[in-house]
Structure 1
Amino acid sequence: MEQFNPERHVRVLTVPDAASNRGAELLLSQGPPVRNGQPPWEIVLINRPGGYSLGFHADHGLFDGALITTLLRALLADLPTAGPVPPRPVRPRWAGLTSTLAQQVALLEAAQPTPAFTASNRDPRRVRHADVPVAQLRVLARAHGTSVNDVYLAALARAVHLWQQRRSDITHPPLATGVPVSFRRAEEEGALGNRSGVAHIVLPCDDPSPVQTLRRVTLQTARQKELRQRDALRLLTALTPGAAAVRLVGRLAPPLTASNVTFGSALTYRGAIAQAAYGIIDVHGPNQVFTSLVSHHDSARLTLVHHPDTPIGPHLPALWLTALQEMDPDSQEASGEIGSMTS
């Protein structure tokens, strides 16, 4: 990777308001930073009234979430620390390979309408956030014997169900969802290249019970772990030529892509602790939405990227927080809100 040069790798943007998503929208509108011979990544300083944001703007084809986390800590942290330890690769099971292939074929054949996501492919994209304490997500995961990732995904399914319930007596159909998974090994911590693939699950947006929704998500992710689907995807990705992989991913692009990244301990820059970390990826085709959950220190931020006329777009962050509240076993006694959101 090209050596860091402030004159080539640092850019300054100024936004007129304090909204945290304004700078993110500006980055989205400019596309990947490969232009006029410039490098494929840059650090962006976004000045705004009352503060600033630091962004890592990169071509996602060359940088995955794990690599970006490593680089941000190396380039920006006052005391660089290692990021989360990646899982050790293991030999994929034959059943995992066949299951993964069958899943891709099923997605090619699936054509269910998705009322919550029906939209045109228009600019500018909208970016929205919701914040929740990491401790609260862990409490919910422990209470239901599952993981934070499963809670995140199930709350998305429940949010879509609540949105549809408020508009019609007809339930929203189950939703094919892409879940990025990292293949990056410990010895590849700083190696250039996107070492990730996309697993697929079906969010049970049709289930009337928030707890049962979570159980159905957990059953799917547990099955994927049992079949070592992460390692099956790693092998299949390695065997697929680059051009063919791009075409296949384009055809398999589901309505929703839901990323989950653990940023780790608090990042301190010039003595100031970062308030939040979040990730954004542009959505290219119509009827597509991207969400990410980035856990940083004691806070997790849900970020949503959608087209301006995506029906559920303005409502999804608040409904996601509502869904988390519904999953709380003590919700009847709970007071106040489980998190906060910004538009």
Structure 2
Amino acid sequence: MPQRERMSPVDTAWLRMDRPTNLMMIVGVLVFKQRMDFERLRNTIEARLAGRYRRFRQCAVEEVAGAWWQDDPDFDIDAHLKRRALPSGAGKKELQKLAGELAVQPLNPGKPLWRFDLIEDYEGGSAMVVRIHHSIADGIALVGVILSLTDLSPQAPAQKHVTPEPEDTDADDVPVGLLETLADTLTSALDAGSDLGSKAYDLASDRDRLATYGRHGIGLLTELAKLLAMPPDSATSLKGKTSTTKRVAWSDPIPLGEVKALGKALGCSVNDILLSAVAGALRAYFQQKGETVHEVEVRAMIPVNLRTARDEGTLGNRFGLGTLSLPLHEGNPFARLFLVRSRMNELKNSYQPPLTLGILAAVGIAPKIIQQQFLDILAAKASTVMTNVPGPKQPLYLAGSRLDQCMFWVPQSGDIGIGVSILSYNDNVQFSLITDRHFVPDPETITPLFAAEFDKMMLALLMLEWDKPVDPALAEQLLFGTQMPSPLAAGKTRNRKPAATAARNTAKPRKPPSKA
């Protein structure tokens, strides 16, 4: 019998989360300047991916007693690396269509759960669609995996020295008693048809029982009650039943230096700036479609990296989820930014991310039907999954071809039909979308709005006086010729720092978005 090892509860949860309308694959598109040499690419992947990471040579096997990673005795690299062609003269539009089609094609369950499709001839270079099942690893780990395939020089040999894969660590750093308690709570509540929020609240109120889990256990279980009591997300066009048709789109890159300068000038993080631009883009899209934004907030699930130093270089899933309400009702770009900043600061100090990691571990050991029911409850509380992953700052080469653009999308669970991805690479920021056709049939109309919202913030900052606090209402008046009351216009402004000068210096016209 082939060798095998037990799959962690968290990875088991991701393995069992697949649905025909939402497959649990991380999908990426890599665009290269030069045409790729297929044989060199094959040798590189065989040596650096399959040769280093045992997980990429193992099948996922589900049994009544749990799930396992089992060595594939017939592993063949050619089953995972395929050539694919686009029509002659095809461009961005056709590549996006192909990526959307592949995003709903299941991976072969009898083989290791990954596949690379190479389009050898794409706009003078090449492109590749990457699909890797989420049970293998999370986004942070998979960025490291992709980086392990690349070089800083086009002349690097395929068979470079490969460091052995670090020994895997326990992905579920949750006290066993607490994990079992979470699983029992979810199972008993759902079996009885009782209110899950009340059940969790009763548990969180049991001081004698909580004392056995310590301070962090109390925080986690209290947060569980709050999470389950959270109402469903706003009833917008982004909610409904998902289909088996996906659309993908990506923007032209934005210089990362401009984002950093704007954030420093406004006392906000790069993440705050980018998430606020996403909220502004969705608001503008709603308005274009004639959908109301009055009092509308769209809740997003935000993956939060929980990896420690000992997890470096390992696969598996080490992240939790936090909820962020995007204030689409706020038309003032600075007021919206400061709201996002405040909410992100609350999330950073929350037990939500470690709690959701514990929940995934708990449902990974609970019956599959319990997992499905509970994740449906969580999915109803959000409309989108949003990720922001930092990538390498310098250009990279894969099999001698320079990597020009890199996009990726994480899967959405339940009936969530929108995925937003932000990835920095080579001192640029790439914004991309994957959407369910029933919710957003035209994501390519949203992606240009992201850069437009960023430009709006940059322009407003440059129009304000340098030595005075940022006033959102004044900025709106200068931008639009109107002044509207803002909850952050008085008493909640921040002094800009000398980096405002840097923002002015780095703000330069960018090329208009290319046509699909």
TM-score clears 0.5: yes
Gaps of 5+ in 1: 83-88
Q: In the alignment, what sits opposite 1:128?
A: 249
TM-score w.r.t. length of structure 2? 0.57
Distance change in 2, residues 1:171/1:313 (3 Å): farther
Q: In the alignment, what sits opposite 2:130?
A: 56
Q: Secondary structure at the match of 2:346?
A: helix
- Distance apart, 1:335 and its partner CA: 6.3
Q: In the alignment, what sits opposite 1:324?
A: 454
Number of matched residues? 333
Match of 1:216 among 328, 334, 339: 339
Whole-angstrom distance in 1 between the partners of 2:422 and 2:78: 32
Q: Deviations over 1:180-226 (max 9, x none)?
A: 12223333334332222221111111112111111111111112223
Match of 1:298 among 427, 430, 455: 427
Q: In the alignment, what sits opposite 2:409?
A: 280
Counterpart mapping for 1:188-267 below 5 A: 188-227=311-350, 229-242=352-365, 243=368, 244-245=370-371, 247-253=373-379, 254-265=382-393, 266-267=395-396
Distance change in 2, residues 1:250/1:13 (3 Å): farther
Q: Secondary structure at the match of 1:264?
A: coil
Q: Residues 250 and 444 of structure 2 are in contact (CA less than 8 Å); yes or no, is this contact kept in structure 1?
A: no
Whole-angstrom distance in 1 between the partners of 2:132 and 2:311: 18
Gaps of 5+ in 2: 1-54, 58-74, 164-172, 174-213, 464-478, 480-503
Q: In the alignment, what sits opposite 2:115?
A: 42
Larger mean CA deviation between 128-137 and 93-102 belongs to 93-102
- Distance apart, 1:69 and its partner CA: 0.9
Q: Secondary structure at the match of 1:279?
A: strand
Whole-angstrom distance in 2 between the partners of 1:58 and 1:198: 20
Larger mean CA deviation between 17-26 and 206-215 belongs to 17-26
Q: Residues 28 and 281 of structure 1 are in contact (CA less than 8 Å); yes or no, is this contact kept in structure 2?
A: no
Q: Residues 320 and 354 of structure 2 are in contact (CA less than 8 Å); yes or no, is this contact kept in structure 1?
A: no
1:187 lines up with 2:310 in the alignment:
yes
Distance change in 2, residues 1:255/1:129 (3 Å): same
Q: In the alignment, what sits opposite 1:9?
A: 80
Q: Residues 120 and 307 of structure 1 are in contact (CA less than 8 Å); yes or no, is this contact kept in structure 2?
A: no
Q: Secondary structure at the match of 1:47?
A: strand
Match of 1:336 among 492, 506, 509: 509
Match of 2:101 among 7, 26, 46: 26
Report the identity percentage.
Answer: 21
Whole-angstrom distance in 1 between the partners of 2:429 and 2:162: 19
Distance change in 2, residues 1:40/1:227 (3 Å): same
- RMSD between aligned residues: 3.3
Report the AA paired with residue 462 of structure 2. D
TM-score w.r.t. length of structure 1? 0.83
The structure with the largest alpha-carbon Rg is 2
Q: Deviations over 1:40-88 (max 9, x none)?
A: 1133322343221234311113221012111112234457999xxxxxx
Q: In the alignment, what sits opposite 1:86?
A: none
Whole-angstrom distance in 1 between the partners of 2:161 and 2:280: 38
